[in-house]
Structure 1
């Protein structure tokens, strides 16, 4: 009996297409965010430098793991993971990271803002995955959201008290 092409991995074709597009949009954000973290890591100076510098290496590793989960999910459901830098630059929705920052606290502020922004889009992706009927992708985005929020908290905890 031939495979019913309307379904791949138990998902209807329109659900698959919607979710693959959603996964690739968030993959672009995760790539952009990881590159922003590396930009800060390479260029920061000032009070608290070493602790934040080392933290950012760990954060980048977790962002890359999350990006890998997102990319693999797109493949698993029959799509293509679009993870090149040029696609991330054109498709990502994260505000461009400034390249003229030097002080640790300026980088902390800029990163915290971008983590909040990307986190909000990931939470929206949770809802959109649910609406599309893909509970597994919804769960994946929930996992990624928790990690992004946690890393935002770690980074933001380095901001000076007011």
Structure 2
């Protein structure tokens, strides 16, 4: 008799969830780095508010990434969050490194938040369909934070 919920999941489902979590982990790390890129380089009216907001957003993104990484390990896999893996596996469009205008950063970040949020929502459905409600719940928590931060960033436009 299984002693934990994860043992009730078949090995192939656990591996599918580990892969799904790592895909979203790569996007979360890429988005975190994009937010820091904007934080360091943003200029314009409202600078200080956006600059400080982006630090808070990066912290929340790291928390979400941590949840996904830990869940992958709980399921018996490995969290794959190195720069090499993220560079290869992230599906989010690369963030421009040569902009400083506050409006350009807001637009670029909002687009990427919308994309990453959409990928997480697809993953929620996949996890639910696979019968892994705990992974779906973690992804839902990540999705809520992404939506909220996309709204915070977009409200500056």
What is the TM-score of this pair, normalised by structure 2?
A: 0.96
Aligned to 1:130: 128
1:100 aligns with 2:83: no
1:12 aligns with 2:10: yes
Aligned to 2:64: 66
The structural deviation recorded for 1:9 is 2.6
Indicate the structure (1 or 2) with the bigger Cα radius of gyration.
Answer: 1
- Structure 1 residues not aligned, in runs of 5+: none
The structure 1 segments of at least 4 consecutive aligned residues displaced by more than 3 Å after TM superposition are none
In the alignment, the residues of structure 1 paired with residue 104 and residue 80 of structure 2 have an alpha-carbon distance, to the nearest angstrom, of 31
Aligned to 2:30: 32
1:41 aligns with 2:45: no
Aligned to 1:22: 20
Correspondences of 1:74-153 after superposition (within 5 Å): 74-153=72-151
Residues 106-153 of structure 1 show CA distances to partners (whole Å, capped at 9, x for unaligned) of 100100000000000000000010111101000111110000000000
**3-state DSSP class of the match of 1:39?**
helix
RMSD over aligned Cα atoms: 1.3
In the alignment, the residues of structure 2 paired with residue 32 and residue 128 of structure 1 have an alpha-carbon distance, to the nearest angstrom, of 22
Residues 27-72 of structure 1 show CA distances to partners (whole Å, capped at 9, x for unaligned) of 0000000000000000111111000000000000000000000000
The structural deviation recorded for 1:10 is 1.7
What is the TM-score of this pair, normalised by structure 1?
A: 0.93
**3-state DSSP class of the match of 1:9?**
helix
The structural deviation recorded for 1:100 is 1.1
The structural deviation recorded for 1:8 is 4.7
The structural deviation recorded for 1:80 is 0.2
